[in-house]
Structure 1
Amino acid sequence: MNAPAKLGVYALCLAGAFGLAAGAGRIVGPIGEDEAAPAAAHAEEESGMDGHGDTAAEGEAGGHAEESGGEHLPGGLMVSDRGYTFALTADTLPAGPDRPVSFTIEGPDGPVTEYDVEHEQELHLIAVRRDLTGYQHVHPVRAADGTWSAPLDLTSGDWKLFADFSTGGEALTLGTDLSVPGDYQPAALPAPSTTAEVDGYTVTLDGHLDAGVESKLTLSVSRDGVPVTDLDPYLGAYGHLVALRDGDLAYLHVHPEGEPGDGVTPPGPDVSFFATAASAADYRLFFDFEHDGVVRTAEFTVTAEEAHS
């Protein structure tokens, strides 16, 4: 066979081979396609996503985010909550006595100018250094434009201010930071104790804090060993109690048992409160009481433990 004839036969063979391969490809299909589809379907079935894995995951994450919102945090840990913001005029002030502090509570429509009266006041301002010293409970004066002002005795260090108020039936405790420049050595937290001395008065603490459940705390006031049975009414009760968690200074919700004039609550020596500790931790208690026209503060360190059923 001559050369041209050989080339022609070779070309025909190649064409036939390619045709068979193409036909086989159409019959069999791309390798692995039929195996991959069942595998993918099986994976979806196993995971329970039914082809909507991203949507399901996003929905679950969104629900979790709502559950872990600020509404479940203890008071005082946020500067803004439910549309209200604690706004200091200046967040740095020099050390010294009677330093003027001013601020507004910014609401959805600007500075708030209408408040509910709680414990005989529109707003309670609590100031404490971050090492839980220097505690002050004052009642600032509000101007017509909503600006609050009050003098504070400030020492060098980092301070935490709490605004405790209610407006439109919405009770809030907002917290913000105030810096006071200068030499600062944080004080160690005093050891837990059930007795405090202040200006010749002895205050004893009975009861303990349990994390996550309401606990009853009773403080008993005496002077020179004699129970004080004529405490003055103070802020609608015979005492006021603030509890702050060591570390982040979470502000506990505390309310008194009974009130002056209810016919069942005596003016001392015992003053009882109900408090719920947010977690097992050390807390500093500040008990304000008034006697002979003077307000004094007894301070305690207590340790909240996990509640046992």
Structure 2
Amino acid sequence: MAAATLAGFLGAAYLFADSRGPAAAPPAARSPISYHSDGLSDAYDGFRAEPLALPTGRGPGLVSLRVTGTAGPVTDFQHVHTRPIHMYVLRDDLSGYQHLHPEVVDGAWTAPVTITDGGAYRVYLEFVPHGRPAGADPTVLGVPFVIAGDTTMIPVPAPQARARSGPYTVRRLDGTADLTSGTQTALRFQVLRDGRPAALEPYLGAYAHLSNFEVRTQGLKHLHPLPANATGDPPADAVLAFHAAFAERGDKRMFLQFRAGGAVHQVAFTIFTT
């Protein structure tokens, strides 16, 4: 497993290897604590995800994972975007993405899930332990599971500038341009309805959520939008801005969720970094 599929986002920026002349100032000191887990392992930083129940067939099912630390099961974490833990499910062809909100049942993080097709899947748990420094990345653990039987694999779509969910169109404001790895990168999306900026509503303490997966490895990084204004009001132009620094080149599959018209909507974009 790569040490880091992604490195940092605004508010938790990481330093990349730099090239500088002999007269340059010495590099800034790194934080003594950095967190780079991406969900490709069931154990990291003293925590382990132990599956108690995983889907075994198509249709409604249950996911139940116990998180253990050095002192035993852990059922309390910092609340990030109004939740102590976030759960994601994804198939290995980058389809079937689901963002779940588990509750503690008998000491395990448990959520209902519906699987519509066979294949190899992974469930991710994302959380921030108490006592972790402000701005540090969360811990992300992952556990695979397989749904047997005939499976229709879905190729990862090519980059597109627009995506739709119901009456809403989301456009990536820089079109399908490649991003540059190793540098701070701005990602900007605008949500439109009937060609006009949509009225966005709060969703889990923000106006949008963006989960990024490396296509090659399925490593996860969850990015959050920058505040649109000092008051915390929804952006009048319905533009959602994210800042991220991508450590590796390659395809990324990003799932954007937002709330409008009383419902949560989801769109996906493929983005390439050079």
Shorter-chain TM-score range: 0.7 to 0.9
The alpha-carbon deviation at position 210 of structure 1 amounts to 2.4
Does residue 163 (structure 1) correspond to residue 125 (structure 2)? The answer is yes
* Structure 1 residue runs without a partner (length 5+): 1-70
Matches within 5 A, 1:279-298: 279-298=248-267
Does residue 242 (structure 1) correspond to residue 203 (structure 2)? The answer is no
The alpha-carbon deviation at position 111 of structure 1 amounts to 1.1
> TM-score, normalization: structure 2?
0.79
1:224 to 194, 197, 202: 194
Q: For the residues of structure 1 that align with 2:56 and 2:85, how far apart are their CA atoms?
A: 22
Aligned to 1:81: 44
Decide whether aligned partners of structure 1 residues 126 and 252 sit closer, same or farther in structure 2, where only a CA change above 3 A counts. same
One-letter code aligned to 2:262: G
The alpha-carbon deviation at position 153 of structure 1 amounts to 1.5
Q: For the residues of structure 2 that align with 1:161 and 1:214, how far apart are their CA atoms?
A: 29
The alpha-carbon deviation at position 149 of structure 1 amounts to 1.2
Contact 1:162 1:173 in 2 (8 A): yes
Matches within 5 A, 1:138-153: 138-143=100-105, 145-153=106-114
Q: For the residues of structure 2 that align with 1:189 and 1:85, how far apart are their CA atoms?
A: 30
Does residue 215 (structure 1) correspond to residue 185 (structure 2)? The answer is yes
CA displacement, residues 190-216 of structure 1 (integer Å, 9 cap, x when unaligned): 011111011121100124532232211
2:169 to 202, 213, 218: 202
Decide whether aligned partners of structure 1 residues 264 and 292 sit closer, same or farther in structure 2, where only a CA change above 3 A counts. closer
The alpha-carbon deviation at position 134 of structure 1 amounts to 0.8
Aligned to 2:4: none
CA displacement, residues 44-79 of structure 1 (integer Å, 9 cap, x when unaligned): xxxxxxxxxxxxxxxxxxxxxxxxxxx675522221
Does residue 123 (structure 1) correspond to residue 92 (structure 2)? The answer is no
* Structure 2 residue runs without a partner (length 5+): 1-33, 133-137
Q: Which has the higher contact order (CA 8 A, sep 6+)?
A: 2
Contact 1:277 1:304 in 2 (8 A): yes
Report how many aligned residue pairs link the two structures. 232
Q: For the residues of structure 1 that align with 2:142 and 2:245, how far apart are their CA atoms?
A: 19
Q: Give the structure with the higher percent helix.
A: 1
The percent identity for this pair of structures is: 32
Look at both structures and tell me which one has the larger radius of gyration over its CA atoms: 1
